[in-house]
Amino acid sequence: MSECAKVLRDELPYNLHIFVNSVEFIAKVIDTLKLAPEAVKVVCSTSGESRQENQRKLGNAYPIGQPSDPAKKINFYTSTCFEGCDIFDPDGVTFIVSDGRKAHTLLDISTLFTQICGRIRDSRYKAQIVHVYSTTKYSKTVTLDEFVAATQRTLADAESYAAEINSLSEATRVKTLSKIPYINEQYVRIVDNRLVVEKNLANMDIVNFKISRHIYATYVNLTDELQRNGYKVTVQTYSKVVEHLAANPSARTTFQELFDEYCRLKTMTEQFFVVESPAELCAVIEQRHPLVKQAYDELGTAKVQALKYHVGNIRRELVKGLSIGDDYKIVKMINAAFQKQTAIPKNKAKERLQEIYDTLGLQRKAKATDLAQ
């Protein structure tokens, strides 16, 4: 949320226009950053009972405004402004927030996303959009193609069922429908004693699945979808390595890949409204390979690189830095270097032991008898 703080301190030349379909999210940001009412504009639904409920969430100090109200430093809009309204602010930058944990904040790239991008009519930053999002974490056992095929089969069954019932004579059809307590077929409803198939409901299911289970399932999918709809992705802050680990827990990943990504995440500054923070992404790597964190904390990036990311050398270097006697260090290094209950050729054992002596800076010549001591 550092972007908000910078804007309020006049460290950035633009105003934030944040489109997110969640009043709870807006209220949380306002509360977390202790935003002053005069610096904030909030536009959300006021129809029916929603005005009272939304105002309760925001607090009375933050009255619900209109799209045409003068822009402020930080401006929030829910779905009531995603289409059909004009916003004017030559210094406005569009931010779109999609939280994978809240389905109602996920947007179809080809429709609503594109509509939002054109809401600020006179901005000199019109060509720049910041999309802040997290993936949905849903199970990937069903692909989009499989879901579409299954939905189409269900729709075909519904049409067949409706056609069969509707082919009955009117008297028989009325009598038959009166004996059915409820219609158990998806996408079918009764209208004037006839069965009507709602194809739009099936299409809606497919669109919702595509948005929540496919487009926002991975960062790669979302990037592809943005590019497919004509958007040029210039900056990405997510972690491909962590996504790879999440998608393939048993996938082979080198220590160097994990360490380099860990270093990158550690040096990242807090991004605007990050849903998955660098710290959370680092935790995934730490769980996968605890040595990464230990090496980063105790040896540092330059030393690990100098050791050419060699895990054995890194472990020895870590032992070398322990506040214990040399003999204890030698024992720890031997335990790490030699596999238990496995025969090792004498020359190989001496070679490894000499490496340990050299690492510790000991002026000793390794002998096979040293291992027996």
Domains in the chain, ordered, with CATH? 2-136+217-228 (3.40.50), 144-212 (no CATH), 240-372 (no CATH)
Whether the CB-CB separation of 362 and 326 falls below 8 Å is answered with yes
Q: What is the pLDDT of residue 271?
A: 47
The C-alpha angle 321, 287, 291, rounded to 5 degrees, equals 20
- Say yes or no to pLDDT of 233 above 80: no
Q: What is the pLDDT of residue 161?
A: 86
pLDDT tens for each residue of 284-301: 888 888 889 988 988 899
Q: What is the pLDDT of residue 27?
A: 92
Reduced to 3 states (helix: H, G, I; strand: E, B; else coil), residue 107 is coil
**Mean pLDDT for the stretch of residues 238-258:** 75
Whether the CB-CB separation of 91 and 120 falls below 8 Å is answered with no
Q: What is the pLDDT of residue 71?
A: 93
Q: What is the pLDDT of residue 74?
A: 92
Token duo for residue 252:
């082979």
Hey, what's the torsion of the CAs at 215, 262, 270, 220, to 10 degrees? -10
- Say yes or no to pLDDT of 159 above 60: yes
Bigger pLDDT: 111 vs 31 = 31
- Say yes or no to pLDDT of 14 above 80: yes
Diameter over CA atoms, the chain: 105
Which parts of the chain are beta strand (E)? Answer: 15-19, 40-43, 74-77, 92-98, 129-133, 188-191, 194-197
Lowest mean pLDDT across 13-17, 72-76, 358-362: 358-362
Q: What is the DSSP letter of 233?
A: -
Lowest mean pLDDT across 36-40, 101-105, 243-247, 277-281: 101-105
In angstroms, the CA 334 to CA 324 distance is 15
In angstroms, the CA 325 to CA 338 distance is 20
- Say yes or no to pLDDT of 272 above 70: no
Whether the CB-CB separation of 37 and 62 falls below 8 Å is answered with yes
**Mean pLDDT for the stretch of residues 35-47:** 92
Token duo for residue 291:
């040595």
75 pLDDT band, cuts 50/70/90, is very high
Q: How far is CA 342 from CA 263, 329, 338, 339, 347, in A?
A: 36, 21, 8, 6, 15
Whether the CB-CB separation of 132 and 98 falls below 8 Å is answered with yes
- Say yes or no to pLDDT of 244 above 90: no
- Say yes or no to pLDDT of 48 above 70: yes
- Say yes or no to pLDDT of 273 above 50: no
Mean pLDDT of the residues in the chain: 77
Bigger pLDDT: 62 vs 80 = 62
* Residue written as token pair 């989009």: 144
- Say yes or no to pLDDT of 201 above 60: yes
Phi, psi of 79, deg, nearest 5 = -60, -15
The most confident of the ranges 51-60, 115-124, 147-156, 317-326 is: 51-60
In angstroms, the CA 15 to CA 293 distance is 38
Bigger pLDDT: 265 vs 340 = 265
Bigger pLDDT: 251 vs 108 = 251
Q: What is the pLDDT of residue 60?
A: 92
39 pLDDT band, cuts 50/70/90, is very high
Q: What is the pLDDT of residue 146?
A: 77
Listed residue (312, 284, 315) closest to 299, CA to CA: 315
220 pLDDT band, cuts 50/70/90, is low
Phi, psi of 98, deg, nearest 5 = -130, 110
